[in-house]
Chain A
């Protein structure tokens, strides 16, 4: 009997069989060895590949991307992003899959250099230190969040050289977000999820979080940490700038798995991807949200994204968001910063929206209440100016 020259690596007993090219077999075996030695993330990668065998389809998963067709045979190709490895899987006509390319990051699985030099992807514990301006970090081998009530986990952007660099900038900022217990962080620190990389995630032209490739592996790490932290009460997941891409993708992975994070909460600071998408996922995960879910600052794109999902938030019974909250906050902020009445118009025009348009948006969302708020804040500001 002829033995199939392509050895099977997953799905041998059930699900779809995944084979691999013979020259890739030693690489795959090295991965399995690392998993057996107890490296948490190697175990995760092997487990995920087996999981894929049971549910492999051609549509987009968070960490797989259905790509083009193979030019020679016309088979569909799938790219799989896992922590420390990137694989290309081709679908054969007999419904078997074959891994044709496997790129393994050796440094990652050996966990030497990157861990010591604080550039490894994953979860870190941040603690206060003898120096009040320094936040030392320690890598957590199994990616488990500290099991303390209301633990804060900050998910940071890529583009920082080391975790210590990121922690120094992020932690003082995170302490001040609404709903985050400042004194608890000062006393026992927080956790931090780090994504290495040269470029920041997301951005104006890359606003859809679910299409970002550079953060898919990191999102899988984070999803694993989130699932393990399900039973810790009150965990707050904070996405800082580009970290919103990782948070959104991780939430999508959890929604696909059917997991909920009841009692947890999330907040996005200056998200570089659409917060509207994130809110929809947050509802499905049964997260408890504050009225302010994302601080988009002066960003028009962010504000519009939040406005667009306002209807969804209003319909959702558990969401405390009420009519006009978001618009009121945005406009009030705009007015207060801009100063007296004459400048309000100029300020708004500078951003590209004129006052009539603003009130138009306002009436679409809510009723009379919000318009009153607009008038109120203008008058309030004027009174303040006249007192001087």
Chain B
């Protein structure tokens, strides 16, 4: 009870001193079930509690995310080309409040969506359940979403750096990987000009779609020198707890596809290491390969050699 009063979600007097903020309780969080093409993705996430009023995005109950096979197009300039489409499933924000109305210290933004290729631009003859094929798809996706953005046409300094801290996860019935993409500043002479990482978590869900869960930590309270003025452990703890609570139940069709590929490829694991990609890329370099032959880009060559 005292905690509830101590960490009221109000901002009355902003303080930028060290404190340990408190966010929504994970213990009492409800479970969210998202049906995607017959498979069921389940995770435990607190209710939407943003700092300022704003709606969450959610899938209406009783609907499957991929009921309508058409995927949303991205707005112009967001991706390097128009070959990708997505279906957003969930989007929530959790605010972390300081003690005694000293302001909102941070917000954790979570978003779950499914990605696939648009009609006419599919990767022919491959299944996303094949680990090597999935790697190639990931490289293509990261290049198209993050890799093409740069600060200046002349200096070609990329806006993003990644993937970093690649880890593979084995607690799902399919292989899964997570990484961080850092935002890069415009001045290359300054060391350590990376910040604002986006935490991504990927796994395939059908032969032609994969699920991406994104976490972004927005940190608001800084002291006079510009350093973070509070303990960020609770935010990371909530993020880790949500990731660990993810469970997946494949549909019979998806399971059959997965087993079929497992018979051919014994080692159904993503690679242990995934070095940062060379960015910015030239947007014309991200053409969809005609088949899964590893001839079209140097990144793909590197992957196949692993």
Contacts and interface: CB of A to CB of B under 8 A. Distances in A.
Interface string B66-79: 00000000111110
Contacts of B156: none
Interface stretch (B29-37, B48-56, B259-267): B48-56
Contacts of B151: 141
A299 interface: no
Interface residues of A, number: 32
A230 interface: no
B294 interface: no
B57 A111 contact: no
Interface in B165-219: 183-187, 190, 193-196, 212, 214, 218
User: Do most interface residues of chain B lie in helix, strand or loop, or is the interface mixed?
Assistant: loop
Contacts of B75: 127-128, 186-189
Interface string A269-287: 0000000000000000000
B220 A162 contact: yes
A113 B222 CA distance: 12
A199 B82 CA distance: 42
A301 interface: no
B195 A117 contact: yes
Given A133-B54, A133-B55, A133-B57, A141 B88 contact: no
A169 B54 contact: yes
Contacts, number: 88
A107 B226 contact: yes
B132 interface: no
Contacts of A133: 54-57, 91
A198 B196 CA distance: 21
A134 B74 contact: no
Nearest to B198: A136
A23 interface: no
Given A133-B91, A134-B111, A165-B220, A118 B196 contact: yes
Contacts of A117: 195-196, 222, 226
Interface of B: 14, 51-52, 54-57, 74-78, 86, 88, 91, 109, 111, 113, 145, 149, 151-152, 159, 183-187, 190, 193-196, 212, 214, 218, 220-222, 226
Given A130-B111, A164-B218, 9 more contacts: A112-B187, A127-B75, A130-B113, A130-B212, A132-B57, A169-B52, A188-B76, A188-B77, A189-B77
